[in-house]
Structure 1
Amino acid sequence: MPRKKETPSPPLDLRDACVEAAREAIAAHGIENLSLRDVARRLGVSHQAPYRHYPSRDHLLAEVMRRCFERFAAFLDAREPHDDARQDLEALGRQYLGFAQMHPLEYRLMFSTPWPEAAEHPDLVRDATHTFDILRQVLRRVHGAGAQREAVDLDALYIWSTMHGLAGVMNGNCIGQLDLSDTVHRQAVEHAMSMVDLGLAARATAPASKAPPTKRRQAT
């Protein structure tokens, strides 16, 4: 039987095509060499064409980064759901690490790239904040009714920094040179998750913390 002809994918409009070309340019030559002229050359259009949608290189970079956060949020939301808040938090942590491993370029763009001027790119700020809000929402369930925002945000920053540090270590080159056993490699993620859970459990049972004392003024 004759094979059916595959329907070609519809061409991207120029706005989307610029984002894809910029991503390819960053992957090939680094973010330092990203330019609208190079994007135009890759697309085979006039060097002025990208300016119809992106007034500057920073505007294009902001859109590339925004879409990374958008995909990241969708990936986090695609985790296996759990009615138990702590299990859901663990699933969220594993999903975070999975994205960092599967999409290293996007992960670096989100968290290791200097941002364009934030005030000029509110959509980027909005989508980045949305990813943090996913963690906040799960932690509100962990804390229960009456959770204070400051307590939730402190725990969110603690967990985020733990996952971010673990992702950087596990995806970096250094860890392969540390003479670690296979058992340690296999259990590293599980251990980190357990320590986070222990920290949250200890915090929940500890007496209400007092405000940190102010520094005494030195005598003049």
Structure 2
Amino acid sequence: MARARSAVADLREACVGEAMAVIEQSGVEALSLREVARRLGVSHQAPYKHYPSRDHLLAEVVRRIFDGFARHLDDRPATDDPHSDLSAIGSAYLAYASAHPLQYRLMFATPLPDPAGHPDMMRSAQHAFAILGRAIARIQAMSVPAGGERLAQLDALYVWATVHGLASIMQSPAVGTLGLPGTVHQSMQCHAMARLHLALSAPPPEDALP
């Protein structure tokens, strides 16, 4: 019985690993349970015992990626200063995007299975956003005590959009065609974070307040 349970767990894990290999080699469009089964050398029905559909398998792959991403943000250097903490979050975000470009694209540049049908997939994504939201709230508490949750969420989206855009630019070969000096490339990250801190320290628009 123990060997049977081990075999079930092994196949479940093997499906996830092979799905990631398919995506890495041929793109997410090539992912199917039949292709995973073929590559694993098992019956084409075998993966269905663990994943009812291709979307269920993809959701599990993405869930694990979001888990790793959230852990990476959680492991950032601890600091009591809200602005330093936000910089640490931004640095951790950009470091993850640079070190794991495929996983990053799967999280943020790939059509995902319906979150309503796969709530576990998005739980760690929500955790990662909450990390950013708490950092923003701490900054607001220093200058905008009445900002409220709505302003924290708006500012978190603003910061995310900025850092995500920077990560995308840093991964794109297009920026290398602009003929910018090397010192500009080297300063992009620090400059963006400094500008974010200035923006967050400024009074918010009236329509953003409660």
Candidates 108, 113, 116, aligned match of 1:111: 108
| 2:173 alignment partner in structure 1 | 173
Q: Which residue of 2 aligns with 1:210?
A: 206
- Alignment pair present for 1:48 and 2:45: yes
User: Per-residue CA shift, 1:10-41, capped at 9, x if unaligned?
Assistant: 99622221111100100000011111111112
Which digits, 9 at most, give the CA deviation of each residue in 1:95-137, with x for residues without a partner?
Answer: 0000000000000000001111221101112222111111112
Q: Highest Rg: 1 or 2?
A: 1
The aligned residue for residue 17 of structure 1 is 14
- Mapped to 2, the partners of 1:92 and 1:194 lie a distance apart of 13
Match of 1:151 in 2: 151
What is residue 29 of structure 1 aligned with on the other side?
26
1-side partners of 2:86 and 2:125: how far apart? 19
Q: CA deviation at 1:44?
A: 1.9
% identical aligned pairs: 51
Q: Give distance in 2, aligned partners of 1:211 and 1:167.
A: 29
Deviation track 1:52-81 (CA, whole Å, cap 9, x = no partner) reads 111000111111111111000000111111
Asked whether 1:124 is paired with 2:141, we answer no
Instruction: Quote the RMSD (CA, aligned, Å).
Output: 1.7
1:95 aligns with 2:55: no
> How far is 1:210 from its partner?
2.9
- Change beyond 3 A, Cα 1:146–1:16: farther
Q: Is the 8 A contact 2:87 2:193 kept in 1?
A: yes
**Paired residue secondary structure (2:105):** helix
Compute the displacement of 1:146 (Å). 5.5
Distance 1:20 1:50 in 2: 12
Q: Secondary structure at the match of 2:155?
A: helix
Summarize the alignment of residues 47-66 of structure 1 with structure 2, pairs less than 5 Å apart. 47-66=44-63
Q: TM-score normalized by structure 2?
A: 0.90
Question: Which 5+ residue runs of structure 1 have no aligned equivalent?
Answer: 1-9, 213-220
* Partner Cα separation in structure 2 for residue 73 and residue 146 of structure 1: 29
TM-fit CA distance, 1:211: 3.1
Aligned to 1:3: none
**Separation in 1, partners of 2:44, 2:151:** 50
Following the alignment from structure 1 to structure 2, what is the Cα–Cα distance between the partners of residues 43 and 153?
Answer: 44
Separation in structure 1 between the aligned mates of residue 14 and residue 197 of structure 2, nearest angstrom? 43
User: 2: CA distance between counterparts of 1:202 and 1:81?
Assistant: 25
**Greater RCO between the two (CA within 8 Å, min separation 6)?**
2
TM-fit CA distance, 1:147? 4.7
The residue that corresponds to 1:215 in the other structure is none
The runs of 5 or more residues in structure 2 that have no matched partner are 1-5
Pick the structure with more helix per residue. 2
Match of residue 135 from structure 2:
138
Q: In structure 2, how many angstroms separate the alpha carbons of the residues matched to 1:120 and 1:89?
A: 32
